[in-house]
Structure 1
Amino acid sequence: MKNAWILLLWVCSALSFANDPAFLSLSDLQRVKQQLAQHQAAAPTLDSWQQLQQQADKALKHPNPSVTDKGMLPPSGSKQDYLSLSAYWWPDASKADGLPWQRRDGEVNPASKNAQSDGVRLARFTADFQALTLAWYFSGDRRYADKALAMMRHWFIEPASRMNPNLNFAQGIPGRSAGRHDGVLDGRYFATRVVDALTLLRAAPGWQPADEKAMRQWFTDYLHWLQHSPLALEEAAAENNHGSWYCTQVAGIAWYLDDRATVTAMVQLARSKIATQIRADGSQPAELARTRSFHYSYFNLQALTAMAQLASKAGLGDLWHSRQQSGSLLDALDAIAPYSDEQKAWPWKNRDRVSQRLIPLLSIADNSLQQPRYQQWIAQAHWSTDKKSKGAVMQAQRDTWLLSLPFQQP
């Protein structure tokens, strides 16, 4: 009888995977939707909704993107294979052909950010796809869902334009490597943006059974690549943010595919990442060693916070307090939270800093723990910005006030 009850609980939990987004909070989305419909949304929520609508309206006018749009040809000979260039590598000025490229940590080579490769294209596609889906969810305007579905079919399904489910040629370095394990990081958007949007789009009027079948097959094939490719397995072993994001990417896709065993394995792997990456004082040495130390400290915690949230949702234990060797995830958040105030000086070497990016992580932590641990930092957040950081600040505001409403004391 006991075993039968355990099996029933497992089945019910597994079934919830299919209907609940991995990283988005369905209850928060429903609450925001109701607030907007009843004209009761708080000012930051209303501002975020207007920003989202503007992005979705622009996306309505964009051609449907595909990896076949790039100018470069991957070594495979097929433009349907994704290809990107490593951002921090530059031609060697002492060589006539510039080869092999040399590393300049933190200095972005513009050649990695144009239409000749797929890196920027993937980021824009997934951002627009998510924005269109959310705009449809909040407003009910079918135009947004129809456009999202058209983009999805063009990128993932249609034979002539679909992306092959691999990242064999991601973050390549001319003269050194056609693709690297670091490039697996590019695929994080499939988990953090695409699969949760797909879960919401199932309720859209234009969604077809053939869409469900095709998308599940694409992500099944891509998950197989993530679990078996030598490049991907190198990424899984990485001892910095790359390893954390591997956990998050694989877990989010496995959640979408109802693969509880893989989600469980990624929660365990994330637990080991926390143990090796975070010190007792909450510092993250591997990220602080970078020339963009604030960005990478935040970036690693973004992945681990998402994993802690997912672990809680799946009933797979507490990653927030996990402490195997030295520091915990909460230790790291405690240490970095004061730097959400842009007036507080960051004491490590650094190139850039957008302090507001920390606010969504602090909000997710409070909501998941149901504790007002970080409310003082969330409450004093300023959403004004300069031109250079405008996009990042707007995204942080949206993530906080549309997707993870700040914790309210019961």
Structure 2
Amino acid sequence: MLLFAMPAGLSAQESGAKVPALVLADGAPRCRGSAGYAADFEGRRTFLWRPQWLESIRQDPAAVKAVTDAGDKAIGGPLYSVTDKPQPVPGASPNEYASIGPYWWPDPKKADGTPYIRRDGEVNPQRNGPEFDKDRLRNLARDVRALSLAAYVSGDERYSSRAAELVRRWFLDPATRMSPNMNFAQGIPGRVDGRAEGIIEASDLATIAEAVGLIEPTGALSREELAGLRQWYADFAMWMATSENGEAEMLKTNNHGVFYDFYLAQFALFAGLEGTARSVVDSFLDFRLGAQMDRQGRFIEELKRTRSWHYSHFVVIGAAKLATIGECLDRDLWNSQLSDGRSLQTARSFLLRYAGNPESWPFSDIDLSGGKLGRMRLTAMQTEQLFERESLSGGADALP
């Protein structure tokens, strides 16, 4: 069994911060450990995607059309594999996932551009090119998500069958599967092959886990294939918990550390490792919230970024996703408090002060100075959606 150990002996029990048990309203769907919502959702083993959210999509004709249109587009799209790169990055096998850091650019003062230099907030388009896997993984998650949702709202097996083909090629076929690690994620040419920060790109793996759970009852993936996929996620979780990059990411004191917790807990649940997921959730109050958030609900490290609005919301999105996973373990992170009263609700209250008027954001931000207020409002809406647990606004696009 994979065990998750907090550094320096820190634990919720030692600090006295205990996550209370979850109390659900009568008749509300319950997420039951590694079985997810399956018992209350006709065998669909989701964890983050709530049955009531998905049902609201199926009951909305406009949302159904949008979902099936996206499914139709995906059904005619390509298959994806990490082996599609023209050649592996130096030191990697063809099956290794590889990407470069988003904010790293060629140095114009150097003939070959290396070592790359950092320009925070400015994304180098090279990272989305064919020589790296970031765009492939993003497109894979987009298509598997679209196909699973289309299968759910329509009952058409063509969608789930195509989703299964995509999953087989990326995760299961020995010739084309991704090795269950991100050793070469967010490398920096001329500096390092891969970095701990690359684990943030596992967001697409989180989407795929939910999408696969949604189509599980269709039989598009056999019992043996589902077991193989769960083993892949177990191996990836093991890599997260034991590798040098994984341990370094665990120790991050910004959004990367928060998302590390969410990914590890979700992947562990998907793989059937409930003890690991429970350990992550139980440690969150002190190890993450107490260390990163001040009494006003501000995550100070995120306020230092050039896109302080985005990252201040992004870190809370990660925490809210972990709280959603915590429900599967009968833990209520939504209302858990530190000894001084700080909680996720403190973070939410801070952000809500500015949600209706992003122009009043008092911190330096390039989106604000660039007049990208619509982008800022969308980020605020996506954050608040996770706290509004019983309703879904915006159709399938609002699914986390």
Structure 2 length-normalised TM: 0.83
| 1:188 has 2:196 as partner | no
Deviation at 1:365, TM superposition (A): 1.5
Name the structure 2 match of 1:152.
167
The 3 A distance-change label for structure 1 pair 77 and 180 is: closer
Name the structure 1 match of 2:22.
none
> Which ranges in structure 1 are unaligned for 5 or more consecutive residues?
1-11, 36-40, 371-377, 380-395, 405-410
Deviation at 1:184, TM superposition (A): 0.9
| 1:30 has 2:55 as partner | yes
Q: Secondary structure at the match of 1:171?
A: strand
Name the structure 2 match of 1:310.
325
Q: Give the conservation status (yes or no) of the 8 Å contact 1:184–1:235.
A: yes
| 1:240 has 2:254 as partner | yes
Q: Distance in 2 between matches of 1:16 and 1:213?
A: 13
Q: Distance in 2 between matches of 1:275 and 1:354?
A: 26
Alignment-mate amino acid for residue 357 of structure 1: T
Deviations 1:283-328 (A, max 9, x none): 1111110001111111111110011122133212334442255732
Deviation at 1:359, TM superposition (A): 2.1
Q: Give the conservation status (yes or no) of the 8 Å contact 1:279–1:326.
A: no
Q: Give the conservation status (yes or no) of the 8 Å contact 2:333–2:344.
A: no
Q: Distance in 2 between matches of 1:207 and 1:361?
A: 33
Name the structure 1 match of 2:396.
398
Name the structure 2 match of 1:51.
66
The 3 A distance-change label for structure 1 pair 398 and 14 is: closer
The 3 A distance-change label for structure 1 pair 114 and 269 is: farther
Deviation at 1:32, TM superposition (A): 3.6
Alignment-mate amino acid for residue 385 of structure 2: S
Name the structure 1 match of 2:5.
none
Alignment-mate amino acid for residue 398 of structure 1: A
Name the structure 2 match of 1:16.
35
In terms of mean alpha carbon deviation, does 178-187 or 207-216 score higher?
207-216
Deviations 1:133-153 (A, max 9, x none): 111011111111111001000
Residue from 71, 77, 82 that aligns with 2:86 = 71
Superposition pairs of residues 210-229 of structure 1, within 5 angstroms: 210-229=224-243
> Which ranges in structure 2 are unaligned for 5 or more consecutive residues?
1-30, 39-44, 368-374
Q: Secondary structure at the match of 1:291?
A: coil
Q: Distance in 2 between matches of 1:324 and 1:48?
A: 43
Superposition pairs of residues 124-139 of structure 1, within 5 angstroms: 124-139=139-154
Deviation at 1:231, TM superposition (A): 0.3
Name the structure 1 match of 2:21.
none
Q: Secondary structure at the match of 2:312?
A: helix
Bigger RCO of structures 1 and 2 (CA < 8 A, at least 6 apart): 2
Deviation at 1:196, TM superposition (A): 1.4
Name the structure 1 match of 2:379.
357
Deviation at 1:256, TM superposition (A): 0.9
Alignment-mate amino acid for residue 264 of structure 1: R
| 1:348 has 2:363 as partner | yes
Q: Give the conservation status (yes or no) of the 8 Å contact 1:13–1:314.
A: yes
Q: Distance in 1 between matches of 2:92 and 2:33?
A: 40
Q: Distance in 2 between matches of 1:206 and 1:328?
A: 41
Deviations 1:337-388 (A, max 9, x none): 24333564322111224312322432332326x9xxxxxxx99xxxxxxxxx
Q: Distance in 2 between matches of 1:201 and 1:161?
A: 22
Residue from 80, 100, 121 that aligns with 1:106 = 121
The 3 A distance-change label for structure 1 pair 276 and 319 is: farther
In terms of mean alpha carbon deviation, does 82-91 or 310-319 score higher?
310-319
The 3 A distance-change label for structure 1 pair 71 and 201 is: same
Give the share of equivalent positions with the same residue, in percent: 31
| 1:199 has 2:221 as partner | no
User: What RMSD, in angstroms, separates the aligned Cα atoms of the two structures?
Assistant: 2.3
Q: Distance in 2 between matches of 1:315 and 1:293?
A: 33
Name the structure 2 match of 1:5.
none
Deviation at 1:205, TM superposition (A): 3.8
Alignment-mate amino acid for residue 306 of structure 1: K
Q: Give the conservation status (yes or no) of the 8 Å contact 1:17–1:258.
A: no
Structure 1 length-normalised TM: 0.81
Q: Distance in 2 between matches of 1:112 and 1:342?
A: 33
Deviations 1:157-207 (A, max 9, x none): 11211111110000000010000000011112212x111112122111423
The 3 A distance-change label for structure 1 pair 230 and 92 is: same
Q: Distance in 2 between matches of 1:244 and 1:343?
A: 24
Q: Distance in 1 between matches of 2:87 and 2:290?
A: 41
Superposition pairs of residues 234-313 of structure 1, within 5 angstroms: 234-271=248-285, 272-313=287-328
Q: Distance in 2 between matches of 1:223 and 1:151?
A: 21
Deviation at 1:13, TM superposition (A): 4.2
Aligned length: 356
| 1:367 has 2:389 as partner | yes
Q: Give the conservation status (yes or no) of the 8 Å contact 1:338–1:344.
A: no
Residue from 114, 117, 134 that aligns with 1:119 = 134
